[in-house]
Amino acid sequence: MVTLADVARHAGVSASTVSYVLSGKRSISGPTRERIQHSIDTLGYRPHAGARALASSRTDILALMMPLRTGLYVPVMMEIAMAVTTTARTHGYDVLLLTGEEGPEAVRRVEGSAVADAMIVMDVGLDDPRIPCLQAAQRPAVLIGLPAETAEAADSTGLDCVDLDFEAAGARCVDHLAALGHTRVAVLGEPPAVYERGTGFAARTLTGLRAAAAAHGVGLLHRPVDGTYAAVAAAVTRVFEERPGTTALVVQNEAAVEPLLALLRHQGRAVPEDVSVVAICPDQVAVHASVPLTAVSVPAQEMGRRAVERLVERLAGQAPRGTELIAPRLTARASTGPAAPALPTEDRHGRDGR
Amino acid sequence: MVTLADVARHAGVSASTVSYVLSGKRSISGPTRERIQHSIDTLGYRPHAGARALASSRTDILALMMPLRTGLYVPVMMEIAMAVTTTARTHGYDVLLLTGEEGPEAVRRVEGSAVADAMIVMDVGLDDPRIPCLQAAQRPAVLIGLPAETAEAADSTGLDCVDLDFEAAGARCVDHLAALGHTRVAVLGEPPAVYERGTGFAARTLTGLRAAAAAHGVGLLHRPVDGTYAAVAAAVTRVFEERPGTTALVVQNEAAVEPLLALLRHQGRAVPEDVSVVAICPDQVAVHASVPLTAVSVPAQEMGRRAVERLVERLAGQAPRGTELIAPRLTARASTGPAAPALPTEDRHGRDGR
DNA sequence: TTGAAAGCGCTAACAG
DNA sequence: CTGTTAGCGCTTTCAA
């Protein structure tokens, strides 16, 4: 193994000089720096991560706590994880992947054993047992998601948060539909488990949806659904029975998107002529759906990237702690159109829905 | 920060004794060990990862290289990743997540900077640039997947591999269908990009499918498809035009599963009465599909687990290097049945396919 | 602009 | 069964 001492010897300088050309923490004369750089290259030197961590008490590692609980849409998690690792690398950090199963213990381990310089925590619930540990920890942490139902409450926890502004996202959906003349809207939400767990984003979306509905005089129905065909079918059927005049749907449940479109097609309800659909989902899902969906995109990449950037800022100097909400962006595609009266019943079956 | 020296002082012993109760590498008297353990607990001591890595040249970290290339089904990757981290933890290892984008450079970094003790490499292609680095590396590595089209060729690379026996998996599908009397089978495969990249598993599956088809006198058609409704519709339509007598489909493409079922329903082809469907996919996909699918399961968890276990064995002592193929398991569900003659054409549209 | 030297916290001979 | 001690490879004062 090539050590810093080897490089120093090869270049005819002291170890500290080599260390300083690597860190750039003091000025080195041109010739010396070149000679050293040359030695580094020819010897193929790489600093030993452990030794560096011990001497500098920095690991250049970020921990990513990613629980995979029921009802979560895996591809979004993955997209965030990838954005995190990619962004981390551009800042010279590696990413340690921790599953949620270890819970608070993982937080203590990272802290106590100095395994990572900072942590990113995903899927935080209201009464998440990791939160106290995080607050007690010396290392910076940023949550992806809010541990509370409002941004103000989140700020009061003293934690650092990054998330989509789901409240505004919900409002944008209703705004869009109201502008098209829809007055009766149904919401197909996340699976019940997600709401029960107290994961803030679902509740915040609902708040935004309801506020906008009230403002526009729109009637709103909300049904949590599991992402299966059967569950979607049951919910949608019930919605149209209870409110036959429903002309628009908002879906916040990636797994339910395709089942929903298949069902509407099967029922002979054309999208968007008979019913408009707005989704809250990643752009990729919206674009590749069997009907390109008007949607507020969940900016998974941006969330992962921002989380890392904030952590890097905090590690560098005194970045302010607080909650950062990403403004929602609604893109109109083929799934929404002007409100139309409900179809006559006899025309509703056996139609070609494509 | 609490150090080993602090614990030693508190317990009235030397540092090495504390170190040895932690590692268990030499016998300690009952009373002493208890006194030390007590000090550890009351002081809340945790060994410093960096210091330990420096002194022992072991990091207790496994690197996981997980490229996310086009055409890959994300949930499977994620399931493997989770199995890897979970299994790793039970053996005392943490997992460093590396994206494929860094390619061979990441391998060199792990190696040179002693960032991890070993690596797990996913989605390996035939001419993967990481392979030479891996072979040159001093640290053990295991690939999830084969870097070649046959297990023998993979073994000759001197690398350690874990994978599903896709060749046998393909054969099992045809065996099952042949036993039900099907003689004309079509295969909907992975996206073209996957085949072009030389990812071995798709080719190996095809080999197995063809061999079994030849053995049973079954006619086989193979079509790579992208996981979109349009692509699936085009492929299936063509299949039935070219081979009207086709009574069974094999799908090896998770993203195509639901589009396929929706399409068949829409075309009025009942599953399994008119057409049988066998999938090669994770159990979860098969079980939750709108028609529960007869399938050879892709044992994502087992693959991740075995990869870690082999690495741990290799790190411990002299475990043999080689290729480990997991035997496929086919589970019969609701999507396959006896072969039936093709439907009369006039009866094929507007039916309720559910 | 460079060097010398003292650790960082832990492990593992070596000695008793 | 336990203690002493010499590093592991790097960073960072302190001196020049």
- How do residues A116-144 score in pLDDT, each as one tens digit? 999 999 988 888 889 999 999 999 999 99
- Give mean pLDDT, residues B205-231: 95
Residues in chain A with CB shorter than 8 Å from the CB of B97 are 64, 81, 85, 95-97
- Give mean pLDDT, residues A309-313: 96
User: B81-96: per-residue pLDDT in tens?
Assistant: 999 999 999 999 999 9
B258 in contact with A at a CB cutoff of 8 Å? yes
Query: Could you count the other beta carbons within 10 Å of the beta carbon of residue B47?
Result: 19
Q: Sorting pLDDT into bands at 50, 70 and 90, what band is A320?
A: confident
Please tell me the CATH code under which domain B61-164+300-327 is placed: 3.40.50.2300
The chain B residue lying nearest A115, using CA atoms, is B49
Structural domain boundaries in chain B:
4-56, 61-164+300-327, 166-297
Q: How far apart are CA A65 and CA A312, in angstroms?
A: 17
Interface contact flag, A86 B96, Cβ < 8 Å? no
Q: What is the pLDDT of residue B28?
A: 92
- The pLDDT mean for chain B works out to 91
Write b or e for each residue in B306-342: b if 16 or more Cβ atoms lie within 10 A of its Cβ, otherwise e: bbbbbbbbbbeeeeebebbbbebebeebebbbebbeb
B28 touches strand C (CB under 7 A): no
Q: How far apart are CA B246 and CA A55, in angstroms?
A: 68
Q: Sorting pLDDT into bands at 50, 70 and 90, what band is B170?
A: very high
Q: What is the pLDDT of residue A97?
A: 97
Q: What is the pLDDT of residue A153?
A: 85
Q: What is the pLDDT of residue B87?
A: 96
Q: Is pLDDT larger for residue A171 or for residue B194?
A: A171
Q: What is the pLDDT of residue A319?
A: 81
A75 in contact with B at a CB cutoff of 8 Å? yes
Q: How far apart are CA B120 and CA B93, in angstroms?
A: 13
Q: What would the two tokens of residue B101 be?
A: 């984008």
- Give mean pLDDT, residues B109-133: 92
Q: What is the pLDDT of residue B124?
A: 85
Q: B65: helix, coil or strand?
A: strand
The chain A residue lying nearest B47, using CA atoms, is A113
Query: A298: Cβ–Cβ under 8 A, 6 or more apart, which residues?
Result: A76, A164, A280, A281, A282
Residues in chain B with CB shorter than 8 Å from the CB of A1 are 114
Interface contact flag, A288 B228, Cβ < 8 Å? yes
- Give mean pLDDT, residues B129-142: 92
| A274, pLDDT greater than 90 | yes
Q: What is the pLDDT of residue A184?
A: 97
Q: What is the pLDDT of residue A341?
A: 63
Q: Is pLDDT larger for residue A233 or for residue B347?
A: A233
Q: Which amino acid is present at B139?
A: R
* Protein residue closest to C5, using CA and C1': A16
Q: What is the pLDDT of residue B56?
A: 96
| A304, pLDDT greater than 90 | yes
Burial of B69 (0-12, 13-18, 19+ CB in 10 A): middle
Q: Which amino acid is present at A300?
A: A
Sign of CA dihedral A72, A74, A80, A85: positive
- Contact yes or no for A209/A250 (Cβ under 8 A): yes
B259 in contact with A at a CB cutoff of 8 Å? yes
A326 in contact with B at a CB cutoff of 8 Å? no
Q: How far apart are CA A239 and CA A246, in angstroms?
A: 8
- Give mean pLDDT, residues A231-256: 95
Pairing of strands A184-189, A141-144: unpaired
Query: Could you count the other beta carbons within 10 Å of the beta carbon of residue B293?
Result: 28
Q: Is A198 left (phi over 0), alpha (psi -120 to 50) or beta?
A: left
- Give the pTM: 0.91
- Give mean pLDDT, residues A235-259: 94
Burial of A16 (0-12, 13-18, 19+ CB in 10 A): exposed
Q: Is pLDDT larger for residue B146 or for residue B178?
A: B178
Closest nt to residue A31, judged CA to C1': C1
Q: Does B4-56 match B166-297 in CATH topology?
A: no
What is the CATH topology of the domain spanning A4-56? 434 Repressor (Amino-terminal Domain) (1.10.260)
- Contact yes or no for A282/A298 (Cβ under 8 A): yes
- Give mean pLDDT, residues B241-246: 94
Identify from B99, B110, B258, B266 which residue to disrupt to test chain A contact, counting A C-beta atoms within 10 A and taking the largest count. B99
Q: What would the two tokens of residue B259 be?
A: 């589009």
- Least confident piece of the model among A233-237, B71-75, B190-194: B71-75
- Least confident piece of the model among A288-292, B68-72, B127-131, B154-158: B68-72
Identify from A290, A305, A348 which residue to disrupt to test chain B contact, counting B C-beta atoms within 10 A and taking the largest count. A290
Q: What is the pLDDT of residue A346?
A: 43
| B340, pLDDT greater than 80 | no
Q: Which amino acid is present at B196?
A: E
- Give mean pLDDT, residues B261-268: 90
Q: How far apart are CA B139 and CA B282, in angstroms?
A: 31
Q: Sorting pLDDT into bands at 50, 70 and 90, what band is B220?
A: very high
Q: Sorting pLDDT into bands at 50, 70 and 90, what band is A345?
A: very low
| B351, pLDDT greater than 60 | no
Which of B54, B74, B259 lies nearest to residue A54, judging by beta carbons?
A: B54
Query: Could you count the other beta carbons within 10 Å of the beta carbon of residue B16?
Result: 11
- Give mean pLDDT, residues A184-199: 90
Q: Which amino acid is present at B165?
A: D
A54 in contact with B at a CB cutoff of 8 Å? yes
User: Which top CATH class is B166-297?
Assistant: alpha beta
| B343, pLDDT greater than 60 | no
| B347, pLDDT greater than 50 | no
Interface contact flag, B68 A74, Cβ < 8 Å? no
Q: Sorting pLDDT into bands at 50, 70 and 90, what band is B33?
A: very high
The bases of strand D with some atom under 7 A from any protein CB are: 1-5, 7-13
User: ∠B77-B82-B87 over CA atoms, to 5°?
Assistant: 130
| A237, pLDDT greater than 70 | yes
Interface contact flag, A81 B97, Cβ < 8 Å? yes
Identify from A2, A43, A46, A56 which residue to disrupt to test chain B contact, counting B C-beta atoms within 10 A and taking the largest count. A46
Q: What is the pLDDT of residue A353?
A: 36
Query: A328: Cβ–Cβ under 8 A, 6 or more apart, which residues?
Result: A164, A165, A166, A168, A169, A172, A296, A297
Spanning CA of B92 to C1' of D2, the rounded length in angstroms is: 28
N-terminal to C-terminal alpha carbon distance within chain B: 64
- Contact yes or no for A61/A117 (Cβ under 8 A): yes
- Contact yes or no for B1/A137 (Cβ under 8 A): no
Interface contact flag, B46 A109, Cβ < 8 Å? yes
DSSP state letter for A85:
H
| A344, pLDDT greater than 60 | no
Residues of chain B (35-94) having a beta carbon less than 7 angstroms from strand D: 51, 54-55, 57
Q: How far apart are CA B230 and CA B191, in angstroms?
A: 13
Q: What is the pLDDT of residue A32?
A: 96
Q: What is the pLDDT of residue A354?
A: 31
Q: What is the pLDDT of residue A347?
A: 44
Residues of chain A (37-96) having a beta carbon less than 7 angstroms from strand C: 51, 54-55
- Contact yes or no for B212/B175 (Cβ under 8 A): yes
Query: Could you count the other beta carbons within 10 Å of the beta carbon of residue A198?
Result: 16
| A199, pLDDT greater than 90 | no
Q: What is the pLDDT of residue B341?
A: 64
Closest approach of chain B CAs to the CA of A73, in angstroms? 9
